[in-house]
Amino acid sequence: MELNDKLYPKICDWRNLVFAWKKARKGKIRKRYVKRFEINLRENLLRLKEELDNKTYKSKPLKIFILRDPKTRKISKSAFRDRIVHHALIDVIGDIFEKSFIYDSHANQIGKGTLKAIERFDEFKRKASKNNSKKCYVLKADIKHYFEEINHDILIEILSKKIKDKNVLNLIKIILTNQAIGGIKIKGMPLGNLTSQFFANVYLNELDQFIKHKLRAKYYIRYVDDFVILHYHKNQLKSWKEEIDKFLKEKLGLELHPDKSHILKLEKGIKFLGFRIFNHHKLLRKSNIKNFERKLSQLKIMHDEGLLNREEVVEKLEGWLAYASNGNTYKYKKHIIRNFNQLFPLDKNIPVTNNKKHFNFLRKLDESSLEFSVQKTLFMFSKRMKIKEIASERNVKESTIWKHLINLIEHKQILVSQVVSPKKIKIIVGKIKHKNDKLKSIKSRLKNSDISYDEIACVLASIKIKNKKVS
């Protein structure tokens, strides 16, 4: 446990404030408010340190705006100087609380996130259903108006169990009451603050501990105020739901959302973190797809107005493709890439100033259509493992690995000479009359039992990409 007189000085420490400033500006160095602060950086940081040292620091009023994405949310933005204080605070007290968080709290933590939570769901559904030998039920729950209903007094009480430094607690109160109207203390925390995200986890860690240690629920995952519990007995989940609702009301001043908290059969599909998860597959939610396609339309407008170039658009597209790859979305990803090429055609009249960067950009666009399984094969192949070894290691057929290698040749990820010997390539090329020749026809012309269909397919793939054009 930290000593009372050691926490607050650490927050005010000059090195901590400089480190906090660097974190607060990350990804925002072009913002005007950052540039304004940095015109007199040293003076501004010294003034902030002086206010903290003298305990005269006050938060500036929040800037509030409405975000429709697609759900309407009120987002509150703190002044840049206040964000530095937020980082300085969390850098000091974060570890004290985070080491007590359960493993399956997945929001706003390094190494966690939505995709890790979905992976964990996949693991739990196999265990809860005994490898699909039993029916599996899921308590899918949401806390009603979570951020709006967090009670400041309860939060301070939770924090004070581990923080004994009154100056730190007073600083937290200043941050919490920044949204007070006319000096009147109100409930809730603003969406958008780093401190809000952190305190939200601290607050619901009480629920996590209750579910894991009192109810002893094995298969529990939480992401902010959205959580699931998996079990093969529906009645057990009904009982837990009642106990959880009671705990929330009595201990945290919260309640389960009556319209968003249900016990469902896994086979019917569970909506969780942007996916509909079934026993054997996952699909993107329709609302998520519509949301992305709306964003793509917005990117098109910005591109046409010259606010974004094609490369910046593809960087945003890659993030979505990486996310979508966690579901069974192969056809949809191909549809998105086809749409991208139609909406953002490559203008060959625009001179390329950086050939290497331009080539990498086009290569990345092609790579984004590759399945994760193919990328795994590429990784193992690059370590000079043989096809038979890769198939054995991955527990798949050799024919599957050959298909992956053909795909990689088509996407210019490997050279055909890395897969097929130069001698065989020369023989195969001599028997290919057209790039659209059938494998069977080429094989019959070869009359060579040492050359396989897979080797022919690799050479044919290399010939096809020579005339491939980027649309």
Lowest mean pLDDT among 42-56, 60-74, 218-232: 60-74
Share of the chain above pLDDT 70, in %: 89
Name the residue type at position 22. K
Contact between residue 458 and residue 419 where contact means Cβ atoms under 8 Å apart? yes
Is it the case that residue 347 has pLDDT exceeding 70? no
Mean local confidence (pLDDT), 244-259: 95
In the prediction, which pLDDT does 231 show? Answer: 95
Name the residue type at position 14. W
Is it the case that residue 217 has pLDDT exceeding 90? yes
Tell me how far apart the alpha carbons of residues 403 and 134 are, in angstroms, rounded to a whole number: 35
Is it the case that residue 283 has pLDDT exceeding 50? yes
Is it the case that residue 182 has pLDDT exceeding 60? no
In the prediction, which pLDDT does 331 show? Answer: 77
Structure tokens at 183: 């000096």
Decide: pTM greater than 0.85.
no
Mean local confidence (pLDDT), 136-143: 95
Band of residue 174 on the pLDDT scale cut at 50, 70, 90:
very high
Is it the case that residue 74 has pLDDT exceeding 80? no
Q: What is the mean pLDDT of the chain?
A: 85
Is it the case that residue 320 has pLDDT exceeding 90? no
Tell me how far apart the alpha carbons of residues 64 and 337 are, in angstroms, rounded to a whole number: 36
The three-class DSSP label of residue 390 is helix
Band of residue 3 on the pLDDT scale cut at 50, 70, 90:
very low
Is it the case that residue 103 has pLDDT exceeding 90? yes
Q: What is the pLDDT of residues 418-448, one digit of tens each?
A: 999 999 999 999 888 887 888 988 998 988 8
Is it the case that residue 175 has pLDDT exceeding 60? yes
Is it the case that residue 61 has pLDDT exceeding 50? yes
Our measurement of the distance from residue 79's CA atom to the centroid of its chain's CA atoms, rounded to an integer in Å, reads 26
* Residue in 156, 193, 188, 191 with CA at minimum distance from that of residue 82: 193
Lowest mean pLDDT among 105-109, 347-351, 467-471: 467-471
In the prediction, which pLDDT does 402 show? Answer: 94
Please give the residue that has the higher pLDDT: either 204 or 435: 204
**389, containing H or E segment:** helix 387-394
Structure tokens at 143: 């806390």
Q: Which residues is 231 bridged to in the sheet? A: 137
Band of residue 188 on the pLDDT scale cut at 50, 70, 90:
confident
Please give the residue that has the higher pLDDT: either 105 or 62: 105
β-pairing, 63-68 vs 282-284, is: unpaired
Is it the case that residue 353 has pLDDT exceeding 60? no
In the prediction, which pLDDT does 85 show? Answer: 96
In the prediction, which pLDDT does 469 show? Answer: 45
Is it the case that residue 40 has pLDDT exceeding 50? yes
Share of the chain above pLDDT 90, in %: 50
Mean local confidence (pLDDT), 181-205: 80
In the prediction, which pLDDT does 452 show? Answer: 92
In the prediction, which pLDDT does 291 show? Answer: 83
